[in-house]
Structure formats: C-alpha cells, structure tokens
C-alpha cells in the first residue's frame, strides 16, 4: 500500500506559512528538496537555534529526521512546529499533522497516530484522513471503527482508487472478504471516461474476474487510456496467456510508454515461460531506464529470476541489498526466510 500523504506534502515544501526571511531556512529547504537529508537537518538546526521561521524550520528538520528513520526525533520536531505557530493556519497545520501521524505510525504509536488524524478531522473533513485513520484502526484490530472510517472516506465517492486502496488495506490484513465489499461498491460507479474503464478493469482483476477485467480494459484502450495496456498484460498473464501478455507489453513499449514498466512486464512473461536469462536481460534494460517508481518491482523480480535459476548465492546477495533499500517489504522478508534455508 502506498503512503498516500507524501505527494500532498511536497506542495508546501518551499512556501512555509509566513514569517521573516531566513537564509538558514532557505538553504535547508533547498538541501531537503535535493534529498540531502543529513546536511539539511544540520542547517535546519541552525535555523532553530537562530529562532528563524521556527514552525517551518522544525517542520523541515522533522522531515529530514523521518527520512533518516529517526522517528522519535521527528515526532518531537513536528510537535514543536505546531507549538510554535502564533496564528491558525489550517493548511500548514494539516500538512505538519500528516507528517506527525506518519512518524507515529512508523514508530509503532498507532493509537497516538489515530488521535492526530482525529485532530486533523476537527480542522477539516477530508476523505483521505478518514482513510488513513481507518487504516490505523485496522492495525489496532478495531474493525468496527475501521469500517466506519472507510465508509466515510467513500461516502458518495467516485474515486475508484480509494476503493482499491481500502481493498489493499484489508487484503494486507488478511481480511479479503471485507475488502471485496469495497470492490463491489466501486463497480456501482458509472464510468465516464477512459481512465474509469481502466480502473474498473483493475477492480475486476483484483476480484479474479479476468474476463470482466479484459472487457473493461479493452474499452479503456479503445477510449485512449494507454496505461490500460499494462494492466491488460497482467490480466493475460493471470489467464495463463503469456503470448498475449507479451504483445501488450511490446505494444506499450512501441508506443513510447514507460520503458521500465514495459521491460518489467516482459520479464514477468519470461519468468512465466522459464526464460530466466531473458528475464534478467529485460530487468537490466528496465533498471537502465531509471524509472524510480518501478525500481523496487524490477529489483524484486531480479531476485525471483535468480531463485528460479537456482543461483541462490546471487539471489541472497541481491536480497540483502534489496532489504537495505526496502526494509518494510513483507513479501521480501518472507522470501528472505526461504532463501536463508537454501
């Protein structure tokens, strides 16, 4: 399940909430934007010592600490950011609270994270916040509160992605039946544009209704949704038709879509057909395309290909590097247990 708040938060990175100009703050913000978290943290600490733009500087410092996985320090920084606000600024407060809740979740403080989301909802009603709080309640084992929040998140909603995200939360919690109820609700939405048909295809795919998925995705493609080609490739693989799947990925590549995604799909076809060297070659091409969004999937599939080649030593080495980058990938952690026994 993707972390839904990060994209929203980047919008406020350099805008702040007013206050005097600060060379320290601006320097720290620039370093943060570049991903230089350690250097940025040092500069934000100088800004704090100089008492310059304190709400924003504490916010920047907290982001750096969260990125460096120092959740306890990040929680303190975000709390101080909120405490330093002289005037109410709902947009800024909400932004910082998103980070604060994320830090508390990462630190295992689920009840406190839920309280942060409750405080956010007091500032303004937001389906996204209901979803996030519902996800926390699910982790706390409170299915009733989770369902109430998920229902609030989807009240009169036409957002197919929201229904799919709720499904992923339930699926990750081993509650497929509860999640499927939201997939069924998603299908009650009448599609209006090509992307809607593509998302409906994804819903049918998750429900394992591959004929329904193929029909919706074909409509999406005919309506001009190029991304639906990738999803149709996944459907054909699930239908045990690798030749048709390969055709979809080759078409997507030919039409100028994301090379990394196309090569990843072709690698999956190769793995299905036990052409493991071909899979590794396609993965190499995908990684060379430098699509950060697809990198994790490509690296994981690379490990799988080496496993099927029975090259367990290389697979172990690749897995070790993978887990350094993606330590919270539960599927990889399970796979690593298998590799450890080889």
The DSSP-derived string for 189-207 is SPP-SHHHHHHHHHHHHHT
Tell me the C-alpha distance between 154 and 148, whole Å: 10
- Residues in contact with 150: Cβ distance below 8 Å, sequence separation at least 6, in sequence order: 130, 131, 134, 166, 169, 182
What's the CA dihedral at 219, 224, 227, 229 to 10 degrees?
50
CB atoms within 10 A of CB 244: 15
Flag whether pLDDT at 293 surpasses 90.
no
What percent of the chain is predicted at pLDDT more than 70?
Answer: 94
pLDDT value at residue 327: 86
Query: Is 100 found in the same domain as 125?
Result: no
- Per-residue tokens: 185: 């609700």
Q: Does 58 fall in a domain? A: yes
Residue 84 lies in a domain: yes
Question: Mean per-residue pLDDT for 195-219?
Answer: 97
The domain boundary residue, chosen from 57, 77, 108: 108
145 and 98 belong to one structural domain: no
Domain range holding 31?
1-108
How many domains are there within the chain? Answer: 2
Predicted local confidence at residue 61, as pLDDT: 97
pLDDT for the residue 2: 41
Q: What pLDDT was estimated at residue 185?
A: 97
Q: What is the mean pLDDT of the chain?
A: 92
pLDDT at 20 over 80: no
Neighbours of 1 (CB within 10 A): 12
Q: Is the pLDDT of residue 12 over 50?
A: no
Residues 102 and 158 occupy one common structural domain? no
């Amino acid at each position: 399940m993707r972390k839904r708040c990060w994209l929203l938060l980047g919008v406020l990175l350099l805008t702040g909430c007013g206050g005097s100009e600060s060379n320290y703050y601006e320097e720290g913000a620039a370093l943060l934007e570049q991903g230089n978290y350690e250097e940025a943290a040092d500069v934000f600490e100088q800004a704090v010592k100089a008492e310059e733009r304190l709400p924003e500087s504490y916010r920047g410092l907290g982001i750096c600490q969260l990125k460096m996985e120092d959740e306890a320090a990040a929680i303190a920084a975000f709390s101080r950011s909120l405490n330093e606000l002289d005037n109410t600024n709902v947009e800024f407060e909400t932004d910082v609270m998103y980070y604060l809740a994320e830090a508390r979740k990462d630190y295992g403080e689920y009840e406190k994270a839920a309280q942060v989301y409750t405080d956010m909802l007091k500032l303004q009603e937001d389906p996204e916040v209901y979803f996030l709080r519902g996800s926390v309640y699910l982790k706390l084992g409170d299915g009733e509160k989770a369902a109430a929040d998920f229902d609030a998140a989807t009240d009169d909603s036409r957002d197919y992605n929201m229904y799919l995200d709720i499904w992923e939360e339930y699926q990750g919690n081993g509650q497929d039946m509860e999640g499927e109820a939201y997939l069924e609700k998603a299908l009650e939405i009448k599609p209006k544009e090509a992307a809607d048909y593509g998302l409906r295809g994804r819903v049918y795919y998750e429900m394992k209704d591959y004929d329904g998925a193929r029909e919706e995705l074909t409509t999406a493609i005919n309506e001009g949704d190029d991304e639906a080609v990738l999803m149709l490739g996944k459907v054909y693989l699930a239908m045990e038709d690798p030749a048709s799947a390969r055709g979809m990925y080759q078409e997507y590549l030919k039409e100028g879509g994301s090379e990394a995604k196309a090569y990843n799909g072709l690698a999956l076809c190769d793995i299905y057909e036990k052409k493991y060297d071909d899979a590794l070659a396609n993965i190499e091409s995908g990684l060379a395309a430098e699509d950060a969004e697809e990198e994790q999937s490509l690296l994981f599939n690379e490990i799988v290909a080496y496993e099927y080649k029975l090259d367990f030593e290389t697979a172990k080495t690749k897995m070790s590097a993978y887990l350094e980058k993606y330590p919270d990938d539960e599927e990889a952690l399970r796979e690593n247990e298998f590799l450890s026994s080889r």
